[in-house]
Amino acid sequence: MAREKIVGLCRFSFLGRCDWASTRGQAGKDPELLQKRAEILFDPRRLARRMQAFETLCLPSMAAQTDQDFSFLILVSPELPLEWYRRLQEACKPVPQARIVMSSERTPCDALRPHLRSFAQEAGRSVLQFRVDDDDALSIHHVARLRAHARRFADLESVAISFPLGVSFGSYEGDPVTFWRSQQPFVGAGAAVRMRAPGRSIFAIDHFQLPRHFVSVTDQSVFGHMILRWDEGKSIATIRAKFPPWFKAMKPAALEKILADDFPFLIGRDLGFVRRADAPKLDLSGRMPQRDEDALN
């Protein structure tokens, strides 16, 4: 049996239809709306913080995968300012799986279709694709776990896979950084699917709706993702609860074990950047340091 082809998909400040409510449907291609979105997406302050999250969380989690046999596509638009495109290129150079895809298409599905078809032609079937936002991280075992589950369902034309357990952390409006245990089936970070149509992207379907359309697997036994919730988040304008009621506050000891098992690349890293620039730094234990040098760095 041929080895499963696995492809990760990430949008970095993509200008077009996305998870924002205002860009759903045909509105995602409206020129006036796109202009307004461009002003938000490409604001230098926002790009600086999103890039820092990508370089601290998302990309290191891809580089550290225990199974290195996968591809990782980062989708960008030609409107992305050149200096930030070049910085993205430099960040991705050490990660052989990473490839930047620049497209003038206004939907991820249209932009990614030819690439997914090419992968499928090479593999002889539709590939197993997973999604991750540029400010999230996945367990270093994510690809290996996906491959193990996909192997069990290799005879199926399509299948969807989710790892509901995760860590959410962040800060809004300069509040102290907090860490939470979250559990939500088919949350976007790490959600995966093998589509029936070779060129169809996982972004064609709301990730929460995947189990309605496919045979689905939810692995509740492991921590699969780390999601950042902060002022630069894509849903800050419409979110009803910054940290929903089903989130459970984490104790430092529990967090340390999860980091060691699934996110070791974050041990010793300063995550204080998630707070607004005028707020003090915060280390992984959730303790507010009295001086900057007390923060993990």
pLDDT in tens, 106-157: 999 999 999 999 999 999 999 999 999 999 999 999 999 999 999 999 999 9
Residues 6+ apart with CB under 8 A from 198: 116, 117, 120, 121, 125, 126, 127
pLDDT, tens digit, 9 for 90 and up, residues 153-188: 999 999 999 999 999 998 888 888 889 999 999 999
Domains of the chain in sequence order: 6-288 (3.90.550)
Instruction: Kindly list the distances between the CA atom of residue 249 and the CA atoms of 177, 219, 262, 285, in Å, as whole numbers in the listed order.
Output: 12, 22, 19, 12
Among 61, 79, 80, smallest CA distance to 70 is for 61
